[in-house]
Homo-oligomer: A and B are copies of this chain.
Amino acid sequence: MTLKLDKVNRGPHLSTLVASSISREIVQGRLKPGDQLPTEQQLAQTFGVSRNVVREAIARLRSEGRIWSQQGRGAFVADQPNATVLTIDFEALQQANAFQSLFELRGILEVEAAALAAKRRTRDDLLAMKDVLATMHAAPYGSVMWLKTDLEFHKTVAAATGNAYMVQFLMFVSERVRESILASGNQQRSEDLAVVTLGEHQRILDAIEAGDGAEAREAMRDHLHGAASRVGLGAEQSE
């Protein structure tokens, strides 16, 4: 197996950057529904890209329903419809800070889920967790099976909260995070790390079994912190 060292995150397309930049303006409220966007010329100049790139970005935002545009008039921020679906743009995630944001969100949910799980876990939940952990022991580190069971463990923890939406959201976010990690390809592989990871999982499980919410929270926090550094995201995570 050859090492892929210098697979530096080749930045996503310029249009993606422009799109998420405009999108941020809308989400954070600096551009309100009904507001008119700057002209394509101005946007191109502002971002320092060609008008073509701006158009690709706008085409995307238009397809997402965030803005609408009319020939001869301009582009406007759409009234945010009661979006009944939540989407995460895969490409936008290639940006480091976007990935970091999603990772942070995942962390919050995981940590609190662990705490809730410690309070509410049933006997069946514990059995499921132990079962997954055993399977994980048998799988080679970094293999598809290993990654799958890793995700499965976190799922059982979330399930132990008894909150179905917790499972749904957490799995959704985790899947996106996992995809992004796989895409970037900068995973470290080592048998030592396998032992570390398994140990962290065990600590979480113990805390949940003991019903110690605070300890479960801490254990999960440490685990995620460790996982972050394992995928080369160590330094930025700070408190």
* Chain A residues packing against B (C-beta within 8 Å): 13, 15-16, 19-20, 23-24, 27-29, 52, 55-57, 59-60, 62-65, 82-91, 98, 101-102, 104-105, 108-109, 112, 116, 128, 152, 155-156, 159, 162-169, 172, 175-176, 179
Contact = CB atoms under 8 A, between A and B. Distances in A.
Q: Which of A13, A28, A167 has the most CB of B within 10 A?
A: A28
A109 B89 CA distance: 21
28 contacts: A13-B62, A15-B59, A20-B164, A24-B164, A27-B168, A28-B164, A29-B152, A29-B156, A52-B52, A56-B59, A59-B60, A65-B90, A82-B175, A83-B172, A84-B88, A85-B85, A85-B86, A86-B87, A88-B168, A98-B165, A101-B162, A101-B164, A101-B165, A102-B165, A104-B116, A108-B109, A112-B112, A169-B169
A211 to B, nearest CB: 13
Q: How many copies does the complex hold?
A: 2
B104 A163 contact: yes
Given A15-B59, A59-B60, A105-B166, 15 more contacts: A27-B159, A29-B159, A55-B56, A62-B91, A63-B90, A86-B86, A86-B168, A86-B169, A98-B164, A101-B162, A104-B116, A104-B163, A108-B109, A108-B112, A109-B109
